[in-house]
Amino acid sequence: MANDTIKLELEVPGDDFTRAGEASSTVKGMLKKLGFSPNVVRKVAIAMYEGEINMVIHGGGGQITVEISPESGVSMSLVDHGPGIPNIELAMQEGWSTAPDSVRNLGFGAGMGLPNMKKYSDEMEILSEVGVGTTVNMKVHLA
Amino acid sequence: MTVREVQKILNATLLCGEDALDAQVRTSCGSDMMSDVLAFVKDQSVLLTGLLNSQVVRTAEMMDMVCIVFVRGKTPDQSVVDLAKARGIAVMATRYRMFTACGLLYEQGLKGGCESDGE
Ligand SMILES: Nc1ncnc2c1ncn2[C@@H]1O[C@H](COP(=O)(O)OP(=O)(O)OP(=O)(O)O)[C@@H](O)[C@H]1O
Ligand SMILES: [Mg+2]
């Protein structure tokens, strides 16, 4: 594996539910190719996919920046300019969701995404301002 | 059991994934909520669902699942099948309903793979 850090900028369209997950799929494929362990690949894939889905169903889309380092692991920054999260502590609780029935009919909206992102990432921080947007930073360490 | 046996037990139509037919599967889950699949599934390799959109395939992809079974005789759009095909995931459709499909597979030895179920 080369030692350089790889930086990726990925666009997440906010108006196309069927395309949600493309960014996570790209990153997953790349990590696999680079030879990261199945455990690291899976942690990144699930954490990022949950975040990407949130960007689409709650945040109106945005950008994801990923930094892949063979030495220290994978950092992800998910940025949207949606409505923001008024109460982050509440949003982090399992089962808490503001998703409407239309989202539930698509198979999401159980209020499990943020807690799951916390579970699969080794570091996570949410920065959010109502009316401005949300940034979720996550890191998955190696090993 | 193999994916081929899953197809046989469920009398299912294979929509894509001939190459995955000999893959071994030991555990499975059934859900229409992808949120729950992402949150509770560990290493189950078969996903049974009544949901037909592309996120079913994405979810299976992120969880490294090898086979998706659409229940109740539903078939997804070709674009959904193509997405699975590109990722080497077998997709099939069975006429059985969720409960029956899960029961038939369980009866033949496929497990839920969840420790707290005491299997
Ligand atoms: N990017 C975001 N922008 C605005 N609100 C968000 C964002 N991400 C999460 N939220 C808020 O936090 C709540 C909880 O998010 P979480 O991902 O845990 O659950 P969910 O998306 O509603 O359902 P699930 O993830 O189980 O499909 C959401 O219902 C929403 O109110
Ligand atoms: Mg979510």
A10 to chain B nearest CA, in Å?
17
Count Cβ–Cβ pairs < 8 Å, chain A vs chain B: 69
What per-residue confidence (pLDDT) applies to A2?
59
Domain ranges of chain B: 3-110
Which residue is closest in CA terms to ligand 1's atom 3?
A: A59
Instruction: Answer yes or no: is the C-beta of A83 below 6 A from any ligand 1 atom.
Output: yes
- At A28-86, the pLDDT tens digits run 999 999 999 999 999 999 999 999 999 999 999 999 999 999 999 999 999 999 999 99
Specify the ligand 1 atom closest to the Cα of A114. 18
ipTM of model over 0.90: yes
Terminal Cα distance for chain A, rounded: 15
pLDDT tens profile B9-60 = 999 999 999 999 999 999 999 999 999 999 988 878 999 999 999 999 999 9
Q: How confident is the model at residue A1 (pLDDT cuts 50, 70, 90)?
A: low
Taking Cα atoms as reference points, which of B51, B61, B65, B67 lies closest to residue B9? B67
**Whether residue A49 has its Cβ less than 6 Å from ligand 1:** no
Beta carbons of B53 and A106 less than 8 angstroms apart? yes
Amino acid identity, residue A35? G
- CA dist B81 and A134 (Å) reads 33
Please tell me the pTM assigned to this model. 0.96
- Distance, CA of B102 to CA of B20 (rounded, Å): 20
Which run of H or E residues covers position B59? helix B54-62
Cα-trace Rg, chain A: 15
Q: Taking residues A105-123, report their average pLDDT.
A: 97
* Alpha helical stretches, state H, A10-111: 22-34, 38-57, 88-91, 101-104
Cβ pair A53, A20 in contact under 8 A:
yes
3-state secondary structure of A133: strand
Beta strands B13-16 and A133-140 are: unpaired
Ligand 1 close to Cβ of residue A111 (< 6 A): yes
Taking contacts as CB-CB distances below 8 angstroms, the residues of chain A near B38 are 46, 49-50, 112-113, 116
The residue written with tokens 């409407």 in the block is A100
On the question of pLDDT at B2 being above 90, the answer is: yes
What residues of chain A lie within 8 A of the CB of B36, using their CB? 110, 112
Residues 89-118 of A with CB under 8 A from B: 104, 106-113, 115-116
- Does residue A134 have its Cβ closer than 6 Å to ligand 1? yes
Query: What are the pLDDT digits (tens) for B81-98?
Result: 999 999 999 999 999 999
Domains and CATH numbers, chain A: 2-141 (3.30.565.10)
Q: What six digits make up the tokens of A122?
A: 């080794």
The dihedrals phi and psi of B21, each to the nearest 5 degrees, come to: -60, -30
- CATH topology for B3-110 is 3.40.1390
